Amino acid sequence: MTTLSGLTNTFQALPNPRGGAVRIAEMALTDAQHAFLRDGDTLGVLRRAIGALHAAGWLPAQRFAETLVLVSPLAGLSEKTRNQFAEALRDFGFAVERRNLRELACSTLLFDHYRGLHALMAAHTRAAPVSFDDLALAGRSIPPATLRSVSPERLGRVRAHYERALLVLLRSKVDEERGQAETMSILDACLADLAGPDPYDFWRLAGAVVQALRLQPDAVNAADARRLYARFNLILADQAHGSTHAPKSLVRAALALLWRDYALYGASAEDSDQVDVLRDYGLTVHWHVAGTQASEEAWEKTAEQARDASTRDLGVLRVNAAAYEDFLTSAEPAIGALIEHGAAQEAGRIDVQAAIKAADAAYRLGSAACALGLGHVALLADTLGLAWRRIAYEAQMMPDGQPLDATIPERAAQALGAMLHQAAAGIAPSEGGSSVAALTAMIERGLAVVR
């Protein structure tokens, strides 16, 4: 049997000792493991975990647990499937105990299990294949990515260069470094040539994700980059035929891969361009500190203090009392700034700088809620930040056009404020589902491409 200490090496991110714990889910997953080993019924305890994860707003974890429920009737078909299910259940339980919401969304280990479980279902049902963004972006709004108009002659030249370089790349082996740097340089130059000033230009996102994948040089990232380069070639053909938006499925896939390593490892100053792209799409990261001996000792000390600290219960979430107080202290000015800058908009006229400041305030609040484990608050805050970014963007792109309805994020900010008041009163924040749905409808509305 794999020991707990052996498992820690399979996760990339650091655990979050000051984060909230969903103890009901942790205990239910432990009970499910014991029940499975005894050939008992795991469905009841897994459903208990799903209910707790849903109440906490841990949506990617909830989706993984739902997959375990769907696969559990097939788990005993063979020794292979039994081991596969047991390993997925064990690693998932351990991941939930680490209390790191970004890791639960972006862990490659959990996604490998998730994909394997769906493959097992697909062998017996008509289950659709899954992609990394199914977990990473669960519940999140994704704005449309545009393809600007390029003259046929110029686009034809870029496509010819791109396809020649792509053919060379696909014919080479994944671990064959010789010559690949030059080939990828040509491909990246083509992407840069296509990218326009629009923050939601698809080729801006494309360039950012392949650059980010090369910052962590391993076989997984190399294979992901190859697949993206190949899919980008299909988008070039679509653009040549007049398409004005990239397929949402590819935008989601590229965005999830761009977010993955930053969500797991954090970002540093030299990653600011990629972080800006992520923020344009409603995703935030934490800024990591250099991994020195002093920083590691400081982290260990903080973790030890967190284990011994007093706790508070917010519904199903048990939070570190000191972290809870810190969150409330930082949340108050953030929600104040959000409401202040949101209210700065005039009827029929958008104050672009005020909208951007409102977005930044929402993102700060979302990151703080994510660190504490308040999933519903984090999702609504991030979605609200993205909504204000979209409002600022459309006001800049179409200053004389019909602006997005600023009353939608204003109402959402009021709902978010009410959720924070609940948290301050020691009550579990309610779900922000209706507010998220209203914001999503606004965010995902396509804007006509300026030609």
The tens digit of pLDDT for each residue in 398-420 reads 666 566 678 899 999 999 999 99
Whether 320 and 436 share a structural domain = yes
Judge whether 93 and 85 are in contact, CB under 8 Å. no
Count of domains for the chain: 3
Nearest to 62 by CA among 431, 440, 437: 431
Give percent of the chain above pLDDT 90.
64
Asked if residue 449 has pLDDT above 70, the reply is no
Sorted by sequence, the CB contacts under 8 Å of residue 372 that are 6+ apart come out as: 18, 19, 20, 319, 323, 324, 327
Whether 74 and 122 share a structural domain = yes
Whether 428 and 323 share a structural domain = yes
Sorted by sequence, the CB contacts under 8 Å of residue 34 that are 6+ apart come out as: 40
Which residue, 93, 112, 136, sits at the end of a domain? Answer: 136
* pLDDT band, residue 445 (cuts 50/70/90): confident
Which residue, 136, 169, 184, sits at the end of a domain? Answer: 136
Whether 432 and 382 share a structural domain = yes
Give the residue-averaged pLDDT of 184-208. Answer: 94
Whether 273 and 235 share a structural domain = yes
Whether 109 and 29 share a structural domain = yes
* pLDDT band, residue 364 (cuts 50/70/90): very high
Torsion of CA 391, 443, 270, 285, to 10 degrees: 120
Residue 3 DSSP symbol:
-
Q: What's the pLDDT score for residue 92?
A: 97
Q: Please check whether residue 143 lies inside any domain of the structure.
A: no
Judge whether 18 and 323 are in contact, CB under 8 Å. yes
Q: What's the pLDDT score for residue 8?
A: 42
Q: What's the pLDDT score for residue 177?
A: 59
Distance CA(447)–CA(379), nearest Å, equals 24
Distance of CA 151 to the CA centre of its chain: 35
* pLDDT band, residue 1 (cuts 50/70/90): very low
Whether 45 and 86 share a structural domain = yes
A 10 A CB-CB count for 40 gives: 13
Give the residue-averaged pLDDT of 44-49. Answer: 95
* pLDDT band, residue 135 (cuts 50/70/90): very high
Query: Which of 40-54, 136-150, 332-346, 366-380 has the lowest average pLDDT?
Result: 332-346
Q: Please check whether residue 103 lies inside any domain of the structure.
A: yes
Sorted by sequence, the CB contacts under 8 Å of residue 445 that are 6+ apart come out as: 404
Q: Amino acid letter at 136? A: A
Whether 25 and 132 share a structural domain = yes
> In this structure, are strands 21-22 and 311-314 parallel, antiparallel, or unpaired?
unpaired
Give the residue-averaged pLDDT of 411-439. Answer: 94
Distance CA(230)–CA(246), nearest Å, equals 14
Write down the pTM of the prediction. 0.90
Q: What's the pLDDT score for residue 6?
A: 37
Distance CA(185)–CA(171), nearest Å, equals 16
Q: Which domain holds residue 179?
A: 152-280
Q: Please check whether residue 145 lies inside any domain of the structure.
A: no
Judge whether 147 and 244 are in contact, CB under 8 Å. yes
Distance CA(384)–CA(438), nearest Å, equals 10
Judge whether 267 and 109 are in contact, CB under 8 Å. no
Give the residue-averaged pLDDT of 367-387. Answer: 96
Q: Please check whether residue 296 lies inside any domain of the structure.
A: no
* Token pair 């002659």: residue: 153
Q: What string of DSSP letters covers 56-71?
A: HT-HHHHHHHHHHHHH
Which is higher by pLDDT, 5 or 107? 107
Range among 49-58, 67-76, 279-288 with highest mean pLDDT value: 49-58
CATH number for 395: 1.20.120.160
Nearest to 372 by CA among 11, 21, 12, 15: 21
Mapped onto helix, strand or coil, the DSSP state of residue 339 is helix
Mapped onto helix, strand or coil, the DSSP state of residue 349 is strand
Q: Please check whether residue 260 lies inside any domain of the structure.
A: yes
Whether 22 and 119 share a structural domain = yes
Sorted by sequence, the CB contacts under 8 Å of residue 407 that are 6+ apart come out as: none
Q: What's the pLDDT score for residue 336?
A: 85
Q: Please check whether residue 269 lies inside any domain of the structure.
A: yes
The tens digit of pLDDT for each residue in 261-307 reads 999 988 888 889 999 999 999 999 988 655 555 555 555 566 666 66
* pLDDT band, residue 179 (cuts 50/70/90): low
The tens digit of pLDDT for each residue in 76-122 reads 888 999 999 999 999 999 999 999 999 999 999 999 999 999 999 98
Whether 327 and 422 share a structural domain = yes
The tens digit of pLDDT for each residue in 301-352 reads 666 666 657 889 999 999 999 999 999 998 988 888 888 877 666 655 778 8
Whether 203 and 247 share a structural domain = yes
Give percent of the chain above pLDDT 70.
88
Q: What's the pLDDT score for residue 296?
A: 53
Whether 329 and 377 share a structural domain = yes
Q: Please check whether residue 252 lies inside any domain of the structure.
A: yes
Distance CA(231)–CA(247), nearest Å, equals 11
Give the residue-averaged pLDDT of 58-87. Answer: 93
Q: What's the pLDDT score for residue 302?
A: 65
Q: Please check whether residue 216 lies inside any domain of the structure.
A: yes
